[in-house]
Amino acid sequence: MNSIIPDKICLVKKYLSLFVLNYIRFFAKLQLKKIHFLQKKKHKQLDIVGITGSAGKSSTLLACQSVFPKNIKVKTNNGCNSESGLPLSFLDLKINDYNPISWLKILILAPIKYLTNWKSYDVLILEMGIDSASWPKNMDYLLSIVKPNIGIFLNVSSVHMMCFDSLDQIATEKSKLVNQAKVAIINPHDKLVIKYTTNQNIINLDPTNIKFKNFFLPPVYDIGFGAALSLAKLFNIPQKQAIENIQNNFSLPPSRSSILKGVKDTTIIDSSYNSSPLACQELLKFLSTFKTKKIAILGDMRELGKSTPFEHRRIYEIATKSADIIISVGPQTKKYFGSKSQKFTYWWQAVNYLQDTIKGSETILIKGSQNTIYLEELIKTILSDPKDSSKLCRQSPWWLKTKEKFKNENQSSTL
């Protein structure tokens, strides 16, 4: 009898979730039709660019957005790439606190936004992320909302592997975006991207090293700039002008390889927003290019499924060749990293060791996955200027409250 009640509760939650998703999808599709209509009234076409891949979607979106001149009106979904985030972005709505009251507000605001929002755009640039091969967390669901006429396919790795059977299944699912598009911009250096792209109208992007006056970026960003320059060609933007547009307009999102000044004249490479095997590997290669003493602070890489042991051991081996000191945070790195790593379960446990380890002028890479790892909070303890904490990811009141609660619960449980 006791087991029946939780089952019923789960079933109710499932159907409520599907109702909410269908509800916001309905109004998002209406809003999209309205944007198409407003463009037709101006005798213009609405172009929709969809971006998918296992890593680099957000930076590619920003690069693509920055390539356009000011006279072309561009809208992006700004990282809201899920089955709920994508449709809400069309309505200019975003949910941060996933409680029933917040969802109720969304249900009320969705029709109001549809009736009052009459903004028009020339180009929509959308991240389209998937967590599973099953509806509604798959590409078919996202394509039931919007069908981009230009698709960008970056790469395939074991991110979200826990919800897939193989890398081939991930590639099959992601490739649906570019295969239904009129034009596919693909990364020819990724074998799975090549294998599963069947679209005949293909543009191969080439990673492009673009220099900036005010900051420098690791090579991992080059693929995004290559995609942006390929996109510029489709809009007849000359390459020289496209590069200038990127140099003038591109800026880094918080904690995606940002360079910050640390205590004792250290250099911090803040990539604490998230982590995946491919991105972590590239950042470790970037770290190895510095001539100073190098510290790698690496958190768990989440949602890797059965590839979790292999990928963590592989990253550890790369780290031993790229860094002089390795500090790991999280149960997976604690389990699968070797003896050359100083291991901690939570970020606050690593603070004293890190502060004692820093002697001066080191280069420090910080990279870890979202949720429970929160390495941005570790960075706060070694910033030269505490005010730079505003440049870190997840600093909204809701996130700070969530992290404080997580810390309080787990501090007491480990005492």
Measure the CA–CA gap between 283 and 280, rounded to whole angstroms: 5
Record the pTM. 0.87
Q: Of 396, 311, 335, 325, nearest to 357 (Cα)? A: 325
- Residue 398 vs residues 77, 85, 91, 221: alpha-carbon distances, Å: 20, 17, 22, 29
Q: Which two tokens mark 136? A: 């509604």
At 163 the pLDDT is: 87
Q: Which residues contact 224 (CB under 8 A, 6 or more apart)?
A: 56, 59, 60, 62, 63, 64, 154
CATH of domain 4-249: 3.40.1190.10
Give the whole-angstrom CA distance, residue 52 versus residue 150: 11
Calculate helix-pair angle for 308-322, 277-288, nearest 10 degrees.
10
Residue-range domain boundaries for the chain = 4-249, 258-414
Cβ-based neighbour number of residue 139 at 10 Å: 22
- pLDDT for the residue numbered 413: 59
Q: Return the pLDDT at 5.
A: 62
pLDDT of residue 88: 97
Cα separation, 196 vs 185, in Å, equals 13
Closest alpha carbon to 137 in 312, 303, 280, 279: 303
What pLDDT shows up at residue 3?
56
| Beta carbons of 277 and 304 less than 8 angstroms apart | yes
Pairing of strands 202-204, 341-344: unpaired
Q: Is CATH 3.20.20.70 correct for 258-414?
A: no
- The predicted structure's pLDDT at residue 212: 87
Size (the chain), residues = 415
pLDDT attached to residue 95: 85
Angstrom distance (rounded) from CA 238 to CA 233: 7
Q: Over its length of 415 residues, how does the chain's per-residue pLDDT go in tens digits?
A: 455 666 677 777 888 899 999 999 999 999 999 999 999 999 999 999 999 999 899 999 999 999 999 999 999 998 899 999 999 999 999 887 778 899 999 999 999 999 999 999 999 999 999 999 999 999 999 999 999 999 999 999 887 788 899 999 999 999 999 999 999 999 999 999 999 999 999 999 988 989 887 777 878 889 999 999 999 999 999 999 999 999 999 988 899 889 999 999 999 999 999 999 988 999 999 999 999 999 999 999 998 988 999 999 999 999 999 999 999 999 999 999 999 999 999 999 999 999 999 999 999 999 999 889 999 999 999 999 999 999 999 999 989 999 999 999 998 755 5
